[in-house]
């Protein structure tokens, strides 16, 4: 073939090549692209860059790449939201598009928990039914107000136990005391009975069981990273995820005819109504959700709040002075009606929720379609994390974010109801935690009672400066070493 024959072919090829190059260049400048992030490597993606505290690692990435980053966790494209502004745009513009959960293999392996759990199932008719039942039967203002006497009674029992320890000089495990109080509040709400006592080992064993569950759900699993290995999860998943349901379901659900008027009676009554879509499995898994989420996060926040007050004695003194001024020296019992008169106590609780968020990541979501967020593409089926820890420590939102400063909440009217996106410890949007109001009331009641009725010191002559602050990561962040104090 001579030069004259080849030349037109070469020119045609070059024209075609330049046309597509120009076309793709224009397309790439007008279409959103994936958020920036550290470059992945084949097969494992960015897994090798994550530490045992992935929330901190991802927060570090956001300082380099911006408030919206993308990672490759094995084969899973993951987008991480790390700022209040990015969270605001996601919840206000795309809440429905990212309302589906990215279900972990541990949850799937737990007797199909994702098919029945309000936390994990998609936003569908069954989810709306369970959400409505939860709102009306448990967390409506009328229900919450009606339960004030029960909450007060459980907090008084806690104070009586601590007082016995005070008289005998015994050490108090703050996390265990808070857990037992919250556990018995929930069990009486559902079953009209206590499930544990402060002086027995059973609450400690149950607390450990709940921690194993949230740790199992929170830690990476091969099947989550490489879905083709889903069968491995079913072989190795912690079976306590299934056993917890039997811990309190069979015996209590069989006593349905008691007529105590508690929540379980109401749920069974709804289930038996003609045409009801509520099943016994729905009730079992609903109880699993409430007992795990309702005890673990409240307990962890209480323990961290007391830890911060012990480490910051001037903050403890300020909170105690406020309680004494508002309630008097001789009144040790706190009522819920007193909380509105205790702005500094409320600020302490809020700051504890900020600096030690009850869940470092919101429950993972999945994009149901391609969406544009902060100018970037979040592709369909991508996993979406909201890094609450990063948002809570963002210096663009919080001055001196590493310091425990309850006073910051006295200067600004922020609540935890999901409207202030720099402070969303219970989530936001349609999938926000329905029990946030109950948790907030109990945290104020328990903390106020412990610091108003008693002074506290560390055991074995330990000083506040030497207090162990190491963390244990699951869904929430637990103190690695339990906080043990002596009441005086």
Tens-place pLDDT, residues 443-463: 999 999 999 999 999 998 899
* β 172-173/484-487 pair status: antiparallel
pLDDT exceeds 60 at position 9: no
pLDDT exceeds 70 at position 12: no
Average pLDDT over residues 56-60: 97
* Cα–Cα dist 299/176, whole Å: 8
Q: What's the pLDDT score for residue 222?
A: 58
pTM of the model: 0.87
Percent of the chain beyond pLDDT 70?
Answer: 82
Q: What is the 3-state secondary structure (H, E, C) of 332-379?
A: CCCCHHHHHHCHHHHHHHHHHHHHCCCCCECCCEECCCCEEECCEEEC
3-state secondary structure of 302: helix
- Tell how far CA 366 is from the center of its chain: 17
Q: What's the pLDDT score for residue 23?
A: 45
* Cβ neighbours of 248 (radius 10 Å): 21
Q: What's the pLDDT score for residue 330?
A: 81
The radius of gyration of the chain's CA atoms, rounded to the nearest angstrom, is 26
Q: What's the pLDDT score for residue 258?
A: 57
Residue 31 gets which letter from DSSP? S
Q: Chain-wide mean pLDDT for the chain?
A: 86
Burial (CB count <10 Å: 0-12, 13-18, 19+), residue 243: middle
* Cα–Cα dist 401/389, whole Å: 11
Cβ neighbours of residue 400 closer than 8 Å, sequence gap 6 or more: none
Q: Given this structure, which CATH class describes domain 32-487?
A: mainly alpha
pLDDT exceeds 80 at position 479: yes
Contact (CB, 8 A) for 409 and 350: yes
pLDDT exceeds 60 at position 247: no
What is the phi/psi pair of residue 479, to 5°? -65, 130
Confidence at 14, pLDDT banded by 50, 70, 90: very low
Is 374 annotated in a binding site? The answer is no
Q: What's the pLDDT score for residue 21?
A: 47
What spatial distance separates the first Cα and last Cα of the chain, rounded to whole Å? 101
* Cα–Cα dist 177/23, whole Å: 66
- Tell how far CA 92 is from the center of its chain: 20
* Cα–Cα dist 355/316, whole Å: 16
pLDDT digits (tens, 9 = 90+) for 132-182: 999 998 899 999 999 999 999 999 999 999 999 999 999 999 999 999 999
Q: Counting every residue, how long is the chain? A: 488
* Cα–Cα dist 152/155, whole Å: 5
């Amino acid at each position: 073939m001579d030069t004259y024959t080849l030349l037109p072919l070469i020119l045609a090829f070059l024209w075609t090549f330049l046309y597509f190059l120009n076309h793709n260049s224009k397309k790439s400048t007008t279409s959103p692209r994936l958020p920036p992030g550290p470059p992945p490597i084949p097969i494992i993606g960015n897994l090798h860059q994550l530490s045992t505290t992935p929330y901190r690692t991802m927060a570090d990435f956001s300082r380099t790449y911006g408030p919206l980053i993308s990672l490759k966790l094995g084969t899973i494209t993951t987008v991480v939201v790390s700022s209040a502004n990015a969270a605001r745009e996601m919840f206000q513009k795309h809440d429905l598009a990212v309302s589906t959960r990215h279900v972990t293999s541990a949850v799937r392996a737990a007797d199909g928990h994702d098919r029945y759990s309000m936390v994990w199932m998609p936003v569908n008719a069954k989810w709306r039914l369970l959400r409505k039942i939860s709102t009306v039967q448990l967390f409506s203002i009328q229900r919450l107000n009606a339960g004030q006497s029960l909450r007060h009674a459980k907090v008084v029992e806690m104070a009586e136990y601590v007082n016995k320890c005070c008289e005998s000089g015994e050490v108090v495990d703050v996390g265990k005391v808070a857990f037992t109080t919250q556990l018995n509040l929930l069990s009486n709400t559902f079953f009209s009975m206590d499930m544990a006592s402060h002086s027995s080992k059973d609450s400690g064993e149950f607390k450990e069981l709940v921690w194993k569950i949230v740790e199992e759900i929170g830690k990476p699993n091969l099947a989550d990273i490489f879905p083709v290995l889903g069968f491995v999860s079913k072989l190795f998943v912690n079976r306590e995820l299934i056993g917890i349901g039997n811990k309190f379901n069979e015996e209590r659900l069989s006593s349905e005819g008691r007529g105590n008027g508690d929540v379980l009676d109401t749920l069974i009554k709804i289930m038996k109504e003609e045409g009801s879509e509520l099943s016994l499995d729905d009730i079992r898994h609903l109880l699993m959700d409430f007992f795990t989420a309702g005890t673990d996060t409240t307990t962890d926040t209480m323990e961290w709040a007391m830890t911060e007050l012990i480490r910051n004695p001037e903050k403890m003194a300020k909170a105690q002075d406020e309680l004494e001024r508002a309630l008097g020296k001789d009144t040790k019992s706190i009522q819920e009606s007193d909380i509105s008169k205790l702005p500094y106590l409320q600020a302490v609780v809020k700051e504890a929720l900020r600096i030690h968020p009850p869940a470092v990541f919101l429950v993972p979501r999945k994009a149901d379609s391609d969406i544009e967020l902060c100018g970037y593409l979040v592709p369909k089926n991508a996993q979406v994390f909201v890094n609450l820890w990063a948002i809570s420590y963002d210096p663009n939102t919080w001055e001196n974010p590493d310091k425990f400063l309850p006073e910051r909440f006295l200067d600004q009217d922020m609540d935890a109801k999901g409207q202030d996106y720099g402070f969303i410890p219970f989530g936001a949007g349609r999938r926000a935690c329905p029990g946030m109001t109950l948790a907030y009331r109990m945290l104020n009641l328990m903390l106020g009672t412990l610091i108003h009725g008693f002074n506290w010191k560390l055991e074995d002559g330990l000083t506040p400066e030497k207090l162990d602050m190491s963390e244990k990561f699951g869904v929430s962040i637990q103190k690695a070493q339990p906080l043990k104090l002596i009441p005086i």
